[in-house]
């Protein structure tokens, strides 16, 4: 049925004289936008019944924002899936029918198709408007919704979007692309006209939603706003009692699913949150596919995209960072141990590219005042699945390696709170703390003049005598402290002990 409808409409279009290039383009666009010829021909297989939390935010943003939305993220995290889920919403499936849009006013293009690269974005819009909408693009009768997927494959796309937006056509843009420095550089060309978002592998809360899939569990997770608010308030008011009561209440709400949550948490710290692997228990297959995804991204986004002249040196650096993720280091140590380069400037360039590809993040020593220099920093390979794959530990052996699991747990907590605070203050950097006695706190979250200290321990019930660093910090800065641990939920002095899985569920 779809084929007949498709060719029938194509023949109608060809009554008008159009060039061979335009005919080819219309063929491609018709196949990518099947809903133009029948709403029920929408590719439902490209969506998921459950929605990750990013979807709700982005779907609303598409409807309300006057800016172009640019969604960046590593390969395989589900950017295209969210894009199709938003298109599905606009078409009125399972949503308020009063808000549905005309199917022909929803335009999707994926630039993975080499045949589209010969056209400028304005040419694509002009041909779509002329032959599909049968309107002049400069005189559109009402809004159109334009989804450009894999936009990083288009040269100078940032400048092109800016030019189109300057014409003030009633067009809402949603763009997605793999995370690369080139993607970010292009988006900066229309910085005042875009809203940049990042998408990563599923957070643990989203991972659980996909695994448990119960309405009552979903309701508990969705009503987390008060818990987040009390978490922040407990530090602004220096109230460890409020912090403990908040997590005790959350723990009680989640009690019916606790056994499942703890089992899934162990699974999550091995394979991470790539949507493709949520229901795949074959760690060998996951590691193989993840290696392919990583290698493709490394080659296209870094080697080709940024012209890295020494791919082996860059790869050696990534491998070394994965082995020490969450450890304190410095440029000299990275050069000596990774063999990436002997040039400080080149190493800084490599780290810049890795950080802007959302693969690596760093944390600097916490200080209220200015410091002359901060040669040391902590470094994280923030994607735990990639980290485990590179270390040959994307399997259950990881759970028996106490040193390795310690690296993973701190990396996981760091990554989740980085995301948590990004929504509150984009661009915020997390810190760590160390005093003259070499007493440390793993993670410091700066917050409106206050600081939230988090110490990550692998043990189920850490001994208070091993927590001198965070106790010292809390006393000095007059704030409660969080100890992320295996099982204990309790309060001792100014410290609140919280199981890892419970702590990151607020993020």
Report the interhelical angle of 311-324 vs 344-356 (nearest 10°).
70
Residue 355 CB-density burial (10 A; 0-12 exposed, 13-18 middle, 19+ buried): middle
Q: State residue 3's pLDDT score.
A: 45
Which range is least confidently modeled, 174-178, 185-189, 335-339, 491-495? Answer: 185-189
In which order are the strands placed within the sheet that holds 376-381?
327-330, 376-381, 360-365, 431-434, 440-447, 450-456, 481-485, 495-499, 490-492
**Domain assignments of the chain as residue spans, ordered by start:** 2-199, 206-504
CATH number for the segment(s) 2-199: 3.40.50.300
- Return the percentage of the chain with pLDDT > 70, whole number: 88
Which range is least confidently modeled, 163-167, 395-399, 467-471? Answer: 163-167
Contact 237, 474 (CB under 8 A): no
Coil, strand or helix at 195: strand
Kindly tell me if the per-residue pLDDT of 108 is higher than 60.
yes
Grade residue 6 by pLDDT with cuts at 50, 70 and 90: very low
- The total of other beta-carbon atoms located within 10 Å of residue 17's CB is 6
Q: Helix H segments across 36-105?
A: 53-64, 79-90
How far, in Å, CA of 354 to CA of 319, rounded?
12
Q: State residue 95's pLDDT score.
A: 62
- What sign does the CA torsion over 243, 248, 249, 251 have? positive
Contact 430, 445 (CB under 8 A): yes
The whole-angstrom distance between residue 413's C-alpha and the CA centroid of its chain comes to: 15
Coil, strand or helix at 417: helix
If you average pLDDT over every residue of the chain, what do you get?
88
Contact 83, 55 (CB under 8 A): no
Q: State residue 356's pLDDT score.
A: 80
Q: State residue 439's pLDDT score.
A: 94
* Numbers of helices and strands, H then E, in the chain: 20, 14
Residue 376 CB-density burial (10 A; 0-12 exposed, 13-18 middle, 19+ buried): middle
Q: State residue 260's pLDDT score.
A: 98
For the segment 248-279, what is each residue's pLDDT rounded down to a tens digit? 999 999 999 999 999 999 999 999 999 999 99
Grade residue 11 by pLDDT with cuts at 50, 70 and 90: very low
Kindly tell me if the per-residue pLDDT of 113 is higher than 50.
yes
Residue with tokens 């990881």: 398
Kindly tell me if the per-residue pLDDT of 227 is higher than 70.
yes
Region 6-32: mean pLDDT is 64
Contact 155, 100 (CB under 8 A): no
For the segment 431-468, what is each residue's pLDDT rounded down to a tens digit? 999 999 999 999 999 877 789 999 999 999 999 999 99
Region 26-31: mean pLDDT is 90
Rg (CA), the chain: 25
Kindly tell me if the per-residue pLDDT of 194 is higher than 50.
yes
The CA–CA distances, whole Å, from 136 to 116, 131, 139, 238, 303 equal: 21, 10, 5, 61, 41
Q: What is the pTM (predicted TM-score) of this model?
A: 0.87
How far, in Å, CA of 336 to CA of 332, rounded?
6
Q: Bridge-partner residues for 171, per DSSP?
A: 144
DSSP strand pairing (431-434 vs 360-365)? parallel
Give the residue among 475, 463, 415, 420 at the shortest CA–CA distance from 442. 415
Contacts 24+ apart (CB under 8 A), 370-378: 375/330, 375/331, 376/328, 376/329, 376/330, 377/328, 377/329, 377/330, 378/326, 378/327, 378/328, 378/329, 378/432
Kindly tell me if the per-residue pLDDT of 17 is higher than 50.
no
For the segment 282-339, what is each residue's pLDDT rounded down to a tens digit? 999 999 999 998 988 777 767 665 667 678 888 999 999 999 999 999 999 999 998 8
DSSP characters for 103-115? GGGEEEEETTSGG
| The dihedral formed by the CA atoms of 115, 116, 118 and 123, expressed in degrees to the nearest 10 | 140
For the segment 207-223, what is each residue's pLDDT rounded down to a tens digit? 999 999 999 999 999 88
Give the residue among 203, 197, 140, 199 at the shortest CA–CA distance from 171. 140
Q: State residue 74's pLDDT score.
A: 87
DSSP strand pairing (360-365 vs 376-381)? antiparallel
């Amino acid at each position: 049925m779809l084929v007949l409808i498709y060719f029938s409409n194509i023949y109608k279009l060809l009554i008008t004289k159009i060039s061979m290039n335009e005919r080819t383009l219309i063929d491609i666009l018709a196949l990518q936008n099947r809903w133009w010829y029948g709403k029920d021909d929408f590719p439902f297989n490209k969506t998921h019944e459950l929605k990750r939390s990013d979807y709700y935010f982005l779907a609303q943003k598409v409807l309300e924002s006057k800016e172009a939305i640019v969604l960046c993220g590593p390969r395989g995290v589900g950017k295209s899936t969210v894009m199709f889920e938003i298109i599905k919403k606009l078409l009125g499936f399972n949503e308020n029918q009063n808000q549905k849009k005309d199917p022909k006013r929803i335009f999707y293009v994926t630039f993975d198709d080499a045949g589209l690269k010969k056209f400028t974005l304005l040419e694509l819009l002009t041909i779509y408007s002329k032959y599909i909408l049968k309107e002049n693009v400069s005189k559109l009768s009402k809004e159109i919704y334009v989804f450009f997927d894999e936009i990083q494959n288009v040269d100078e796309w940032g400048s092109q979007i800016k030019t189109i937006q300057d014409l003030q056509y009633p067009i809402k843009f949603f763009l997605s692309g793999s995370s690369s420095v080139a993607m970010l550089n292009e988006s900066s060309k229309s910085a005042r006209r875009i809203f940049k978002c990042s998408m990563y592998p599923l957070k643990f809360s989203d991972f659980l939603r996909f695994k448990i899939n119960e309405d009552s569990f979903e309701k508990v997770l969705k009503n987390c706003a008060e818990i987040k608010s009390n978490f922040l308030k407990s530090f602004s008011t220096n109230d460890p009692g409020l912090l403990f009561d908040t997590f005790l209440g959350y723990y009680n709400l989640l009690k019916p699913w606790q056994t499942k949550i703890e089992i899934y948490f162990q699974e999550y710290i091995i394979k991470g949150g790539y949507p493709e692997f949520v229901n795949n228990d074959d760690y060998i297959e996951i590691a193989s596919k993840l290696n392919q995804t990583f290698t493709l991204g490394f080659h296209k986004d870094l080697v080709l995209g940024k012209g890295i002249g020494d791919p082996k040196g860059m790869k050696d650096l990534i491998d070394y960072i994965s082995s020490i993720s969450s450890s304190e280091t410095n440029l000299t140590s990275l050069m000596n141990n990774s063999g990436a380069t002997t040039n400080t400037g080149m190493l800084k360039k490599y780290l810049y590219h890795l950080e802007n590809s959302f693969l690596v993040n760093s944390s600097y020593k916490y200080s209220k005042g200015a410091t002359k220099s901060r040669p040391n920093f902590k470094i994280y390979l923030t994607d735990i699945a990639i980290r485990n794959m590179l270390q040959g530990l994307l399997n259950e052996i990881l759970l028996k390696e106490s040193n390795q699991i310690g690296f993973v747990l701190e990396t996981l907590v760091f990554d989740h709170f980085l995301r948590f605070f990004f929504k509150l203050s984009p661009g915020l950097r997390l810190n760590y703390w160390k005093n003259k006695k070499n007493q440390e706190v793993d993670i410091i979250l700066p917050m409106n003049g206050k600081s939230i200290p988090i110490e990550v321990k692998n043990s189920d019930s850490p001994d208070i005598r091993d927590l001198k660093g965070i106790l010292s910090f809390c006393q000095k800065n007059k704030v409660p402290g969080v100890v992320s641990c295996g099982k204990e939920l309790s309060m001792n002095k100014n410290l609140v002990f919280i199981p890892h899985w419970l702590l990151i569920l607020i993020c």
